[in-house]
Chain A
Amino acid sequence: MEIKEAIEQLRKEKNDPNKPAFLIYAMLKTAHPTVVEMIEYQAAKVMIAGEMMKNTIVEASKTEEGRDRLNKGMAELLAKYKSPSFNDMNEEEKDG
């Protein structure tokens, strides 16, 4: 998905109250067009990122080896995630 497509999709979902786009545009109703565009761009980037992550997983799931790698990666990351050091925030994070 290209950024342009993502933005178009966002704009299409503008009036659908079940979509986040509705919320965004409602909040930005009175905002300057530049601000709206800037936020649209950010949103579109997130959409694309999500799409890419999905594609990776779906693609990898198609083969036994891919699935194994996914599971292995997941197990490793899970172990890492649960280690105390992973969750230590450094000074830079703390200062806000």
Chain B
Amino acid sequence: MARQTLGELLGKQKESESQVAASLLVPREQPGGLGVPFLPQEDIIPRVILGVYAQGLMTENQLHTSMYVVPHPPGLETGILSTEGNDVYTVPERFPGDEENDPIENFKATSTGFFQTSQGKATTFDAFTKNSRGELPEGVRTGHDLLSKEGVNSIPPAKPSDRKGYKDDTHYGQVDATKRPIAAALHDTLVALNKYTPTQESPFLDYSEKGDSAFVKGLYSIQRDLGAFDKDAESLSIAELRKVGGELLFKAQSISAADSRTLMNNFTDDGGYGFTTDLMVLIPHLTQIGGGTVDVSNLKARVRKGSEILATGQDDLIAVQSFETTFGFGQPSASGSDTLISPMNGTSNGTMNSPVEPFDGVFPAGMALPVVYSIIVVGLFGQWILPSVISGLKDTEGPSVKDPTKPWTMSLGRNYEVDDSFTNGILELLGLPRTNGGSFFGAMMAGLMLFYGLEEPVSPFSIVGPDFINTALNLIYSPGYYLVMVKGILRDMATILNTISNLGNLFDSGIFGAITSLFTSFEVILKSYTFRFFMVMTRVGDQAIKYMLRPGLDGHGGKAITYDKQKEIAILDPSLHRTALSRFHKSPGEVKSPLSLTLQHGAFLPSTTNDLIPGVEPLIASDFGEKALEKSYGLYTQVDAINRLGAEVVDAIESKIDSEYVPFSIQDLRTNEIFSLPAFITSISDDFSVQHATSHGYGRTDPVYAHSKTTRSINLVFNLVSMNEEDHSYMYHILNKLVAMCYPQRDGGIPRKQGAGPGAQYFIQPFSQTPIASPIIRLRLGDLIKTNKSSLALEKLFGGTEILQLKGDIKAEEIQVKTEELSKSYAESRKKIVEKRREKLAQWNSGNPEVKGKVFIPQGTQMYVKSKDEQWYSFETLVGFETKVTKAFATKGPRKTYTLQSGETSVQDTIFEVEIPKDKKEVSAIGGKALASAAKEAESSGGLAAIFGGGDSSIKGYILPSSCTPIWFDDYLDPKGEAVTGVKAVEDIEQFLNTETNPVARSFLQSSPGKGLACVITTLSLSYEGALWGTGNGDDLTAPMRVQINMSVAPIHDAPLGLNSRGDIFAPSHPVGFYSPGTGPNSTTSMGDSARKTKLLDAYQKAKKNAVIYTDKELSDPSKSDALI
């Protein structure tokens, strides 16, 4: 606070300060003279002005009113003063050898400097005088200096040698106000405020006279004279200070002043507890439950004299905020700082706990209540303000869990959809944690419960009950922490509610004024402790819930099996991603990791060896179906035939392996034994080495390269890890199988016979088994490493569709011409198809009703269903399905108001109505729980027709044209050589390539089953570094439980790589996506569109088959779910 000059106070800003000061001494009737000084009390200059001026001087030097403590100067003795100012004792005299209890030693150990010295010793006295105030900063004076120097008749400070002991009225006592009015005013102010500077005669510990009682009865006395110390002054004992403090504490409990005094007297005078005290403990007061506040004026220790002297009402004994506030009391903050609250208007939440109730008491009920209250307040804030805001917006359905395979649909690092809506803006602004479709408020409550010490944050409402006691007990151990939090919450709530209540009249100032007020409210909320507190609680709760109930949800989207559901799973269903759960319960007490090696799919030849391997079970009918069983069983019974698993067995196993997150399998082509492994792959490389024959022509700069050969080498480094004992054994089974893939298969050897007749013994001549089969394997890793054989490749081997379509007798020289004609015809046909598709799509996008008819709606399309009461429910298609567009019309859409302008339509104006199958399984497959809930609601409301409208019992779905790119299977035709007459039908070609009749096709497609890439192992390195070893006694498993395998293979491609005569890729080296067999959308052959159509429809059938039929209990009211829009 800037000090006001005397000139400013008296309205004489133009005059210098010394002139103004001098003028005070000059009676107005004698201008310019030095005559009789005026008496301020009687003159027109109010005494209070001088008081304010004195305050200013004090404030300016506030930090320096106390004695400076300076570092101990070398060689200076310390001691304790007697009442006369003489040394009482020194260290050797008082506590020889007892340094621990020596106050002087303690003083030296804990103080940064010294406080006094002997008056009787000139040397040390000088040193003290010189150093006692330390080196003041330049331009800063102490209050005493001001007092001495102020005014015209200032008196210079006395030299130390001239001082009269501890009482120096000349310099610091009451001065003559007629001679030194400013000094007199300053003196009065200092006395009133008791803020005079201590001198060497200031209060001291009167140990010599009072003995030990000095420590108890007080370190302070009430000194009434400025600049002088009265040793007989009234003592302010600790007991009295306790009374003052205790009384204030009770007042802070909203207890009346009279009751507070009585209570404190009970404590101090009567030794403690009485009836009133008991009541205090038993009955929490309003402030204890955060229900009221106390005016701070009731919480002050005051100096009566202060308010008498100063009209500004300054009367604080202790500065509660800062000096600025203390001196500015009663007035607006002069510095304009908004960081300080004026105590005049301030209220306090009080102490919240009763002063008679110890923190570590048996049950601090007074403490627990505010905590409960804070839960409620926070709950209210979270459950009413925010939901009200959010529910007022139309596009606020909870964030749905996104498919992790579509990272482009997610915000960075988050598993929810990118969204730039206003609502999302609010959520971002408020920093609301996304709870992945879980309950935001459930997460918040869970966080709070964790914070307050409830261990199982399962249900927000489980707090009601015995768990509540745990909360209270938890509070006992850390009450202060909670108290601080609760106080902050309560104070914030008051501010927030006050701000928001101003919204009440916001519409008076128009909507734009209201928006301004709204954002003001938001700002207050954002700044508040409370808001931040429960946001943190929500994040904590969300993490806890994720950890407890939905582990892996972020990583695996909606496919994750939550922890509570995992307990119910006893069998790993093939349709289940093993990565969707962290464990499952095979049998009571037997918890298994889904990544356990023995749980990987595989098929081994039935043999005495394989049957003994733990975890390897004989092939049974349910694994492969009757047909497969027949073959595998047949093999099992053969002893000396060529042992190979049938193609059906391999297909069946591979279809299971396909359900893995990343299928990784190895198949021995000699036996067709196949096993999958967890894809714990640490390194993968795929190298092509091309060699050319070169010839050098004379004068040519570079050689001529003629391709000689290309070799491909794939290297994989992966780990096998045993999760349990069974795995450990099985791992070595796999390892042995892998090593066997590096060695040949041998024949049966030469049979021999010993003896004759019934006792004859047949055997094979040892070492007569001859290698007959080189090891060849199929290696599969997702779609990256797999076979490139396909019907398309087969067609290309036979020359391609053009030549296969030729019909009748064609001369050899005309074949080329005819195939070229066909090629051109195909190009035309393709062009027409593309044009037709584009036309249909344009119709769709423009909302043209002509688009009516069959259509395939792809997976991931946002669709809506509508009840008769115009409630819209949204869902996302979980699988693509074929349906029929029944209408294209303008309507009031779910998100925007669609208005049909006369005679024209636009993208925004139209919405398509399509049929949704009625079958429960189909409903579930298409729309999951959201659609099933809507359908159930429809049923319970009087039938589907009653709810979904349309006059029949079908469900109508609605699609915005922009929400998907549909497929029209009717136009999704394979191009034909329409321009060329006499071509064979596709069916004829398929007949020609039929594996039943075409031996080459049979050989190519069927002789070697398996989806992997055929190859030979070129190197196999095993590393056991860093692995734990089994140490079981007698289980024959003293071996590493993990092995790292470094394997290089050289592929033998089923179909040739490179280009064919037409410039097409003959067969892909990496059959991924477009090149994956049977999925090429732009393919011109029978493996193109038709195959894709089949694949899409197959996916639908598969989804339908696996669809869950929800029980009524599982289906919630859709109007209460996120699906409601």
CB A13 to nearest CB in B, in angstroms, measures 11
Smallest CB gap from B463: residue in A: A23
Q: Is the CB of B372 within 8 A of A17?
A: no
Smallest CB gap from A20: residue in B: B383
Instruction: Say yes or no: A24-B376 contact (C-beta < 8 A), given A77-B519, A78-B428.
Output: yes
> Which chain B residues lie closer than 8 Å to A57 at the CB level?
389, 392-393, 422, 518
> Which chain B residues lie closer than 8 Å to A38 at the CB level?
286, 291
Interface set, chain A 65-93, CB cutoff 8 A to B: 66-67, 69-71, 73-78, 80-81, 86, 89-93
> Which chain A residues lie closer than 8 Å to B1003 at the CB level?
none
Asked if B515 is at the interface of the complex by the 8 Å CB criterion, the answer is: yes
Asked if A33 is at the interface of the complex by the 8 Å CB criterion, the answer is: no
Smallest CB gap from B445: residue in A: A23
Instruction: Say yes or no: A51-B519 contact (C-beta < 8 A), given A20-B380, A22-B461, A93-B488.
Output: no
Q: Is the CB of B391 within 8 A of A54?
A: yes
Instruction: Report how far A90 CA is from B516 CA in the complex, Å.
Output: 25
> Which chain A residues lie closer than 8 Å to B385 at the CB level?
46, 49-50, 53
Instruction: Say yes or no: A58-B393 contact (C-beta < 8 A), given A39-B373, A46-B380, A52-B500.
Output: yes
Asked if B1020 is at the interface of the complex by the 8 Å CB criterion, the answer is: no
Instruction: Report how far A60 CA is from B514 CA in the complex, Å.
Output: 9
Instruction: Report how far A91 CA is from B340 CA in the complex, Å.
Output: 9
Q: Residues 24-67 of chain A: 1 if any B CB is under 8 Å from the residue's CB, otherwise 0?
A: 10110000000100110011011101111111111111010011
Instruction: Report how far A80 CA is from B476 CA in the complex, Å.
Output: 40
Asked if B521 is at the interface of the complex by the 8 Å CB criterion, the answer is: yes
Q: Which residue from B461, B487, B497 sits with its C-beta under 8 Å from A49?
A: B497
CB A96 to nearest CB in B, in angstroms, measures 4
Q: Is the CB of A60 within 8 A of B389?
A: no
Instruction: Report how far A53 CA is from B379 CA in the complex, Å.
Output: 18
Instruction: Say yes or no: A55-B392 contact (C-beta < 8 A), given A22-B461, A27-B464.
Output: yes
> Which chain A residues lie closer than 8 Å to B393 at the CB level?
57-58, 61
> Which chain A residues lie closer than 8 Å to B461 at the CB level?
17, 22-23, 26
Count of residues in A whose CB is under 8 Å from the partner chain: 49
> Which residue, B286, B380, B460, B487, has most C-beta atoms of chain A within 10 A?
B380
Q: Is the CB of A54 within 8 A of B392?
A: yes
Instruction: Report how far A22 CA is from B375 CA in the complex, Å.
Output: 13
Q: Is the CB of B515 within 8 A of A56?
A: yes
Q: Is the CB of A49 within 8 A of B500?
A: yes
Q: Is the CB of B512 within 8 A of A69?
A: yes
CB B1095 to nearest CB in A, in angstroms, measures 44
Asked if B548 is at the interface of the complex by the 8 Å CB criterion, the answer is: no
Chain B interface size, under 10 / 10 to 19 / 20 to 34 / 35 or more = 35 or more
Smallest CB gap from A66: residue in B: B511
Asked if B388 is at the interface of the complex by the 8 Å CB criterion, the answer is: yes
A-B contacts counted at CB < 8 A amount to: 153
CB B524 to nearest CB in A, in angstroms, measures 11
Interface set, chain B 479-503, CB cutoff 8 A to A: 483-485, 487-488, 493, 496-497, 500-501, 503
Q: Is the CB of B392 within 8 A of A81?
A: no
Asked if B381 is at the interface of the complex by the 8 Å CB criterion, the answer is: yes
Q: Residues 510-534 of chain B: 1 if any A CB is under 8 Å from the residue's CB, otherwise 0?
A: 0110111111011100110100000
CB B692 to nearest CB in A, in angstroms, measures 61
Q: Is the CB of B515 within 8 A of A42?
A: no
Q: Residues 369-405 of chain B: 1 if any A CB is under 8 Å from the residue's CB, otherwise 0?
A: 0001101110111011111110111000000000000
Instruction: Report how far A62 CA is from B1120 CA in the complex, Å.
Output: 24
Q: Is the CB of B380 within 8 A of A78?
A: no
Instruction: Say yes or no: A50-B376 contact (C-beta < 8 A), given A35-B291, A60-B515, A93-B488.
Output: no
> Which chain A residues lie closer than 8 Å to B389 at the CB level?
50, 53-54, 57
Instruction: Say yes or no: A81-B515 contact (C-beta < 8 A), given A43-B376, A45-B501, A49-B500.
Output: no
Asked if B341 is at the interface of the complex by the 8 Å CB criterion, the answer is: yes
Instruction: Say yes or no: A77-B463 contact (C-beta < 8 A), given A53-B388, A56-B514.
Output: no
Smallest CB gap from A81: residue in B: B526
> Which chain B residues lie closer than 8 Å to A54 at the CB level?
388-389, 391-392
CB A95 to nearest CB in B, in angstroms, measures 9
Asked if B504 is at the interface of the complex by the 8 Å CB criterion, the answer is: yes
CB B489 to nearest CB in A, in angstroms, measures 10
Smallest CB gap from B386: residue in A: A50
Q: Is the CB of A23 within 8 A of B388?
A: no
> Which residue, A23, A39, A55, has most C-beta atoms of chain B within 10 A?
A23
Instruction: Report how far A58 CA is from B392 CA in the complex, Å.
Output: 6
> Which residue, A49, A55, A67, A70, has most C-beta atoms of chain B within 10 A?
A49
Q: Which residue from A27, A60, A63 sits with its C-beta under 8 Å from B372?
A: A27
Smallest CB gap from B425: residue in A: A74
Asked if B289 is at the interface of the complex by the 8 Å CB criterion, the answer is: yes
Q: Is the CB of B372 within 8 A of A59?
A: no
CB B1121 to nearest CB in A, in angstroms, measures 13
Q: Residues 465-487 of chain B: 1 if any A CB is under 8 Å from the residue's CB, otherwise 0?
A: 00010000000000000011101
> Which chain A residues lie closer than 8 Å to B526 at the CB level?
77, 81, 86
> Which chain A residues lie closer than 8 Å to B339 at the CB level?
90-92
Instruction: Say yes or no: A23-B511 contact (C-beta < 8 A), given A50-B389, A56-B518.
Output: no
Q: Which residue from B386, B464, B522, B527 sits with its C-beta under 8 Å from A23?
A: B464
Smallest CB gap from A32: residue in B: B283
> Which chain A residues lie closer than 8 Å to B380 at the CB level?
20, 24, 42-43, 46-47
Instruction: Say yes or no: A35-B500 contact (C-beta < 8 A), given A23-B376, A46-B385, A52-B506.
Output: no
CB A52 to nearest CB in B, in angstroms, measures 4
Q: Is the CB of A46 within 8 A of B384?
A: yes
> Which chain A residues lie closer than 8 Å to B523 at the CB level?
77, 80
> Which chain A residues lie closer than 8 Å to B529 at the CB level?
89, 93
CB B351 to nearest CB in A, in angstroms, measures 12
Instruction: Report how far A63 CA is from B507 CA in the complex, Å.
Output: 15
Instruction: Report how far A46 CA is from B515 CA in the complex, Å.
Output: 19
Instruction: Say yes or no: A61-B422 contact (C-beta < 8 A), given A43-B376, A49-B501.
Output: yes
Asked if B426 is at the interface of the complex by the 8 Å CB criterion, the answer is: yes
Instruction: Say yes or no: A73-B464 contact (C-beta < 8 A), given A42-B380, A53-B385, A53-B500.
Output: no
Instruction: Say yes or no: A50-B387 contact (C-beta < 8 A), given A71-B422, A96-B487.
Output: yes
> Which chain A residues lie closer than 8 Å to B493 at the CB level?
42
Asked if B429 is at the interface of the complex by the 8 Å CB criterion, the answer is: yes
Instruction: Report how far A69 CA is from B496 CA in the complex, Å.
Output: 23
CB B320 to nearest CB in A, in angstroms, measures 11
Q: Is the CB of A78 within 8 A of B503?
A: no
Smallest CB gap from A78: residue in B: B429
> Which chain B residues lie closer than 8 Å to A67 at the CB level?
422
> Which chain A residues lie closer than 8 Å to B506 at the CB level?
52, 56
> Which chain A residues lie closer than 8 Å to B485 at the CB level?
96
> Which chain A residues lie closer than 8 Å to B515 at the CB level?
56, 60, 66, 69-70, 73
Q: Is the CB of A52 within 8 A of B503?
A: yes
Q: Is the CB of A77 within 8 A of B503?
A: no
Instruction: Report how far A17 CA is from B546 CA in the complex, Å.
Output: 23
Q: Which residue from A49, A60, A66 sits with its C-beta under 8 Å from B503?
A: A49
Instruction: Report how far A49 CA is from B384 CA in the complex, Å.
Output: 9
> Which chain B residues lie closer than 8 Å to A76 at the CB level?
519
Instruction: Report how far A26 CA is from B376 CA in the complex, Å.
Output: 11
Q: Is the CB of B511 within 8 A of A60?
A: yes
Instruction: Report how far A70 CA is from B425 CA in the complex, Å.
Output: 10
Query: Which 9 A-B pairs rank lowest in CB-CB distance, beginning with the nearest?
Result: A50-B388, A54-B392, A96-B484, A49-B500, A50-B385, A20-B383, A54-B388, A26-B464, A52-B503
Chain A residues proximal to chain B, CB less than 8 Å: 17, 20, 22-24, 26-27, 35, 38-39, 42-43, 45-47, 49-61, 63, 66-67, 69-71, 73-78, 80-81, 86, 89-93, 96
Besides A23-B375, A50-B389, A70-B515, 12 new A-B residue pairs in contact (Cβ under 8 A), listed by A number: A20-B376, A24-B376, A27-B375, A39-B373, A42-B493, A54-B388, A56-B517, A61-B422, A77-B522, A92-B339, A96-B485, A96-B487
Q: Can you report 23 residue pairs joining A to B where beta carbons are below 8 Å apart?
A: A20-B379, A20-B383, A20-B384, A23-B375, A24-B380, A42-B497, A46-B377, A46-B381, A47-B380, A50-B384, A54-B389, A56-B503, A56-B514, A56-B517, A57-B389, A59-B507, A74-B426, A77-B526, A80-B523, A91-B339, A92-B341, A96-B485, A96-B487
